[in-house]
Amino acid sequence: MKNVLVIGSTGQIGSELTMKIRREVAGSTVVAGYIPGAEPKGELLTSGPAEVVDVCNGKQIAEIVDKYQIDTIYNLAALLSATAERFPLKAWDIQMNGLINILEVAREKHCAVFTPSSIGSFGPSTPRDNTPQDTVQRPTSMYGVTKVATELLSDYYYHKFGVDTRSVRFPGLISYTTLPGGGTTDYAVEIYYAAVKGEEFVCPIAKGTYMDMMYMPDALKAAIDIMNADPSKLVHRNSFNIASMSFDPEIIAAAIRKHYPDFKMRYEFDPVRQAIADSWPNRMDDSCAREEWGWTPSYDLDSMTEDMIVNLKKKLL
């Protein structure tokens, strides 16, 4: 990984991943790819090159890959699950037509490609607890349909054409830098903003709904480590279960109350998000990632909560 293109560099993952690779991978050039209307700002803009890269424009992707002699593409352009239910054709276009554009460029120009999958790639017929690495994947949301297809297409390009595709199934990602938007797991970010601002939190997800979640530093580490892993050790490629914590709204609220004893939450559940959440696993088994490339998370709910609150206080107060 030397010359890297991050497509979707101003989104929740991209804004932090671009900066982390720029800081930590010596001698790297990381191009921040963005679409008009989502321009990079601040340090993301000033610390390296930025280019308009629309996943739906294969020619544009090829030009930027040539211009910077890109060897690794992080494909982070996607509509999250609740938004994808509102705009299913647009989600298909970005997630599937976008992916095949990238894979075709990668095939011709010999790039490695990371395209995240998700807990959303599972569905109601998947085992809920200790969800195995290899199991039933029959999702019922458009987001999930595109994620399973992403996994399959990425593996196809590896087996058929030798394109070095690798990825992980991200849990809901929690961070204080860039807000997610339109996801089912977004509540677990928004709850911290409410607590730090001293507001009551109206939770769109029902009590007792467990989902895998992860703090952003662990997710970024996974995205980099999987691309640096020794390929001879990889039995799987697209995509690895990774896990670090699982909770329901009551449990995260209790973790927050250790810092804000008066924190209040009430429920007003969103039927679209709830139906999606009910179809996702409670907790994935990530033993293949641990065995094949040494995955280990650093944060649990309490250490994440402490760090989120410290950083959101700096940001919001």
The window from 122-130, 178-186, 197-205, 261-269 that contacts ligand SER (CB under 6 A) reads: 178-186
**Residue 157: in which H helix or E strand, if any?**
helix 142-161
Rounded distance between C-alpha atoms, residue 42 and residue 304, angstroms: 25
Classify residue 56 as exposed, middle or buried by CB count within 10 Å of its CB (0-12, 13-18, 19+): middle
Q: How far is the CB of 116 from ligand SER (least distance, A)?
A: 8
Rounded Cα–Cα distance for residues 141 and 14 (Å): 24
Residue 75 within binding range of ligand SER, rule CB under 6 A: no
How far apart are the C-alpha atoms of 286 and 220, rounded to whole Å? 16
> Given the complex with ligand SER, which of 70 and 241 has the nearer CB atom?
241
Question: For ligand SER, which residue of 15, 75, 81, 167 counts as binding (CB under 6 A)?
Answer: 81
Tokens of 44: 């993301």
Active site residue 143: yes
CB of 83 to ligand SER, least distance (A): 8
- On the CB side of 239, how many CA atoms lie within 13 Å of its CA? 30
The secondary element (H helix, E strand) that includes residue 107 is helix 98-109
State the pairing for strand pair 211-215/168-170. unpaired
- Which one among 72, 95, 184, 246 touches ligand SER, defined by CB under 6 A? 184
Q: Which of 34, 74, 143, 176 is catalytic?
A: 143
Tokens 């490339």 identify what position? 293
Subset of residues 86 to 145 that bind ligand SER, contact rule: CB under 6 A: 118-120, 143
Compare residues 72 and 118 and give the one whose CB is closer to ligand SER. Answer: 118
Here the tokens at position 88 are: 């299913």
With CB under 6 A as the contact rule, the residue among 33, 40, 98, 183 that binds ligand SER is 183
Q: State the residue number with the nearest CB to ligand SER.
A: 183
Question: In 58-73, which positions are buried (b, 16+ CB within 10 angstroms) versus exposed (e)?
Answer: bebbbebbeebebbbb
Distances (CA, A) of 184 to 81, 150, 202, 206, 297: 6, 19, 14, 12, 22
Under rule CB under 6 A, residue 185 binds ligand SER: yes
Region near ligand SER per CB under 6 A, out of 13-21, 97-105, 183-191, 256-264: 183-191
- Measured between its terminal Cα atoms, the distance across the chain in Å is 38
Q: Return the residue of 70, 76, 80, 205 that touches ligand SER, per CB under 6 A.
A: 80
Cβ(114)–Cβ(73) below 8 Å: yes
Distance of closest approach, residue 229 Cβ to ligand SER, in angstroms: 22
Of the two residues 184 and 239, which places its CB atom closer to ligand SER in the complex?
184
What is the smallest separation between the CB atom of 113 and ligand SER, expressed in angstroms?
Answer: 18
Q: Which is nearer to ligand SER, 105 or 153 (CB)?
A: 153
Cβ proximity to ligand SER: between 183 and 281 the closer is: 183
Kindly list the catalytic residues: 143
Q: Kindly list the residues in this chain that would bind ligand SER in the complex (CB under 6 A).
A: 80-81, 118-120, 143, 170, 172, 183-185
